[in-house]
Each structure stands twice: as structure tokens, then as C-alpha cells.
Structure 1
């Protein structure tokens, strides 16, 4: 038994076709073939059967190798295409190879046919295996994307459930200080839930648009603390920066703590005030976050590094987690400036 080979033979000469078929049989192939020599027959053959290789004469009365090659390309099939002709010149052969033909052979030298066919069949197999591997990788990546979106969605939902439970529990608490603790915890949870919501909504599951996140986070905080936006205004100067989750969560929690502090303590009489947020890239993978207000500020003897405030201790710890530095100024209000690096993605 020879090696099965399905050949689409584009040739107007029956004698030449028989010579090529005999050569293939001598080379150990068991050939199944169809001989055609018109564009219509070529189109029907491509659509109706599965082929291993196309062997094509260059010039025929009603058809040509370039036209046949064009049909193969338009079909989307990756078929080895070998030109076997007695009339082709070197320049014409080179042009055909550039157009996508895999080899050309002179009819007077059919000894080259078997090695050429064997080589092109091997290379076609390699291309098919590579394409299959790429499709498998693509399918695997798509599955992982769906899984990651589902994970972020579920994490967000679970965090919102915890937030809702805290809210329900708070209804039974009469102590104002305890209520504030519950509200602070709820806002921290909401800030993390918002990260996961942005991630599963994002086209890039690794990073989120942090400018959009900051806008939504601050809007939620203003609503949570029942802030009159006509009295306390917000100024934002935030570049369109994309952060990965390992930077977005601590940075989001920092913003949550500092904006919450301003809303709770900077304007005790609900007087007119302003809160500013600036976030920008200083250089590649290095960012600066500045949050300030023009409220009452801290007492002159306030020691930021030795503070017992849970919120500010969290800010310092999260800044350390980001491998960043924080500067604190209390003059005509407060200003926090944090500079931190991020990984290159």
C-alpha cells in the first residue's frame, strides 16, 4: 500500500497528467486525483472535495497558474501549490513564488517532483499543527478570560453581600461611634468591590482605567457621607492611567481613607470647602497621587508618623505595600503626596 495522496491536478494535457501521476506512483504514493483545466471546474473541485496538494500547469487555453492560485488563496485553504510547466521562465517562476506558489518544476525534469511533493506535504503538516496549537491556545485564553470575569464578578458580589450585611447590622446599633466604624468598614469593602467590578467590565482583565475608578469611588463616598456638593466641591486632575489589581486595590483603599477623612473631619461646621485629587504619571511606571483639602487641618503638634488613627495607619501600611513614599503637610488644610512605582505590563 502506498501513501494516500489526494491531488487536484490542474492540467489541460492528459498525457502530461499521466506522466505526473506515474511519477507520483513510482514515488510511493497511492494517488486519488481529479484533473481540471477551467476556472469553473477549479471552483467546484475546491468546494466539493478535500485535497492534499495542487499540481498546476502554468499556462492553459482557458486557465492559468496565477488564476488557480488566486482561487486557492480566496478559499482560505492552506494547500501546497506546485507549478509544473514546460513554458515557464525564471522571472515568471519567481513572481509565482512571491504570489504564494510553493515550488515550480520543469516538465522535462520530473525527477524533482517527488522530493518537492514530500517537502511541501511535511511543511503543510507543520503549518496545520501550528495553526491547531494557536487555535487551542486562543480557545484556552478565551476560557480563562471568561473564568476570570466570573471570578471578579463573584468576588464583587460577595463583597457587596458583606457590605449589605454590615448595613443591616448597623440598623441595630445606637452608638454613633460604633456606627461610624461600621460605615468606614463598609466603604473600605465597597472600594475593593468597585475594583473587581471595573475589572470584569474591562476589555483588559489585568488592568483598569483608574481615572474612571476614582470618579466612581469619590461619587460613592460623597453619597455615603451625605455631602452637599454645592458646599464641598471636588476638583480632580487625573490622567488616564491603567493600574493592575495589585496596585489598584491598595491605591483605591488609600484614596478611600483620605477622602473619607476629609469628608468627616475637615469641615466640621459644614462650611464651604474644597477637596482636590491629582493623579499622574511622573515617568514610566512611577506615579504620584496627591489628595488635599482646605479644611481645618490638624493640630500643630500632630505627629503623622506616630498617629493612632486606624485610617492613617492603613494609609501608611498600604503605601509601604505599594513600595511608595508618603509626604504629609498640614497648612491651610492638609495635603498627602504619595509616590509609588508599578510593575511594567
Structure 2
């Protein structure tokens, strides 16, 4: 237990003792423990059980001979109701057989009342061991949580990879095209995971997701993405912009699940634009923008707009890329998506909640 100032808080000791004189003497010796413990004295079984169930106890000191039950019964009760608490017998007489039996049942130590000078050191040692044990248990539980979370994420990732492998294959498609398309999608997934690992699998900025996804196209000279000018601010005009323009002016934080889903969506949109859309033609441009939804402040509208590209028509057959976009938005992001085939160019409008469960 730690006090507000960062110093160790006083230990809360439950003293099971029927003799007021002995209790006073024990409390006096406990004054040598730093910081001085808070001592609560009980003598009856009912009061003792209530104190254990209350939970605000760090250590138990117990006499062996008590009015309505004995020390071993008190030890058994402590092991049942509060098994993590150190338990020290403080008794006038404790035979060897009883001492061995008490250790077998889980007692931490025993101190004879004739030698109370040993009490402060025994209490400090027991409290230190209890803190170390609690820390080990916390570390083990944290490790279990991390292992379960890792297993969950690996299973989800493998399921997505298997889906990409199956759905990327189109009957009659040349093997070279299949391999290229599959590697493109797997690369986008890998880039998204790399970004999430860089942020320790915590929240990341939507702008960074767009940057990372569009980076392969920037390296080919198709476009330039300027840095954000300040927290939550829209990037200013830049002569370096060429064919990909990022206009998102709202700082949007994403948890891992939506970050990964949006990365896959942007990759599909970019791939299609390079092969068949605006980026396949000289002078064609792509504008990516996002803002808070006017009618729903807790939602974000993301718009992918292609300009000066070829004339577009709604395809007669929905390909896997379109299916992936729709499923990612509707199922992974709990949002809605519109694919608009306008004479001026293809447009994808996505509306998603700002807060999405990871």
C-alpha cells in the first residue's frame, strides 16, 4: 500500500488478542515498525470474521488461546477468507508440535510473548514477503492477459490472411497478377501492424494511418503528403502536393481495430485508383478528407474523391476489393459506406463512430 505522497502507507494489522494488557504491550513494540502500523484489536470469533471479510487488513497477529476458539481455527479461517494475508502467532506458550502444525496450515511465523523484541523484524519481513508475492501475482496475471490478447490478435490476423489468400484468387487470373495483388494486400496489413507496434498497440492518429498506407504511392512520385502544422490542425497549402492531397483537418484517434480496418480500406481504394481510376491517368488526382459529421458529432465522415480520372461506371460484378471495403466499414467499423460512380470521378464516402471498441 502506498500513501498519496509516494511514501509507504502504514500497514493495517488485525490483532486477535483477548488480553488488553498483552495487546497494549504488543502495540508498543509495533511502534518500532516504520511507518507505525494501524492496529485493530478483536477478541471474538464474530468480530474476527467480520474484519477479515471487510478486507482492509495487511497482516494478522493472533494469540493461540482465545475465549471462544483457538489459534489454529483462526488460522484456518484466515486461509479461507483471506489466503493472501501473512499470519503470525504471538503466544505465551506454543509447543513444537503446535508450531509445526501451524506452519503446515500456512502460518508465516510465530513470536513468543516473552520475546516480543523479535516482533518488529518479523512483521516487517512478513509484510515485505507479502508485497513481493502480490507483485509476482500481478505480473503473472498481466502476463496471462497479454498472452490471451496476443493469441486473440494472432488468430484474427491469420483469419484475415486466409481470407485474403482465398478471396484474392479470381478464376482465370494469371498467377503473376494473383501474387502481385495478394502481396499488395498483405503488405498493407503488415504496414498497419507496424504502425500499431510503434504506438505500443495503443491509439494512433488517422493521419498517420493514411500516411503509412499511401507511402508506397508517394515513393513512386505520385503524390506528397505535407506534415500536420499543429495538433488537430489542417495542413496548409503546399506546392509539393501533386496527385494525392490530404485535407483531413480533424485530429482523430483510432484504436487498433479501426486503424487496421481503415488501412486495408485505403489500400484497396489506392490500388484501384492506380489500376483503373484517377491515378491511372495523367492529370488525375485523389483528395482524402475527413471531418466530424455535421448531424452526428460523435461520428466522422471520411471522403475519398477521385478527380480528372477516366469516366466511371458501376461495375456489373462486385469484386473482392469492393467486398473488403464494405465489410471492413460495416462490420469492423460499425459504420456505413457509399461507393459513388460519378461522371466527375469515383467517390467513396465513409461514416464511422469516433469511438470504436478495440
TM-score, normalised on structure 1?
0.51
State whether residues 206 and 251 of structure 2, in contact with CA within 8 Å, keep that contact through their aligned partners in structure 1.
yes
Specify the alignment match of 1:330 in structure 2. Answer: 342
Number of aligned pairs? 242
Q: How does 1:74-153 map to 2 (within 5 A)?
A: 79-81=37-39, 122=51, 126-127=55-56, 128=58, 138-140=138-140, 142-144=142-144, 146-147=146-147
Specify the alignment match of 1:263 in structure 2. Answer: 274
CA gap of 1:120–1:269, structure 2 versus 1, over 3 A, is closer
Shift of 1:34: 7.1
CA gap of 1:208–1:292, structure 2 versus 1, over 3 A, is same
Distance 1:157 1:344 in 2: 17
Encode CA deviations 1:246-297: one digit per residue, 9 max, x unaligned.
4333332221111122223335675244321123443465332211121324
The answer for unaligned runs of 5 or more in structure 1 is: 1-7, 9-23, 48-70, 73-78, 83-111, 163-175
Specify the alignment match of 2:26 in structure 1. Answer: 33
Find the residue that maps to 2:286 and give its secondary structure.
Answer: strand
* Equivalent position to 2:258, from 238, 243, 247: 247
Distance 1:33 1:309 in 2: 80
Q: Tell me which moved more, 135-144 or 249-258.
A: 135-144
Distance 1:144 1:280 in 2: 39
Distance 1:317 1:113 in 2: 63
Specify the alignment match of 1:191 in structure 2. Answer: 188
Greater gyration radius: 1
Specify the alignment match of 1:89 in structure 2. Answer: none
State whether residues 155 and 196 of structure 1, in contact with CA within 8 Å, keep that contact through their aligned partners in structure 2.
no
Q: Does 1:311 align with 2:321?
A: yes
Find the residue that maps to 1:298 and give its secondary structure.
Answer: coil
Shift of 1:46: 1.4
Distance 1:158 1:208 in 2: 23
Distance 2:134 2:247 in 1: 44
Specify which structure has the higher proportion of strand: 1
Name the Cα RMSD after superposition. 5.0
Distance 2:197 2:217 in 1: 22
State whether residues 324 and 338 of structure 1, in contact with CA within 8 Å, keep that contact through their aligned partners in structure 2.
yes
Specify which structure has the higher proportion of helix: 1
Q: Does 1:340 align with 2:352?
A: yes
Find the residue that maps to 2:276 and give its secondary structure.
Answer: helix
Shift of 1:149: 7.6
Distance 2:152 2:216 in 1: 20
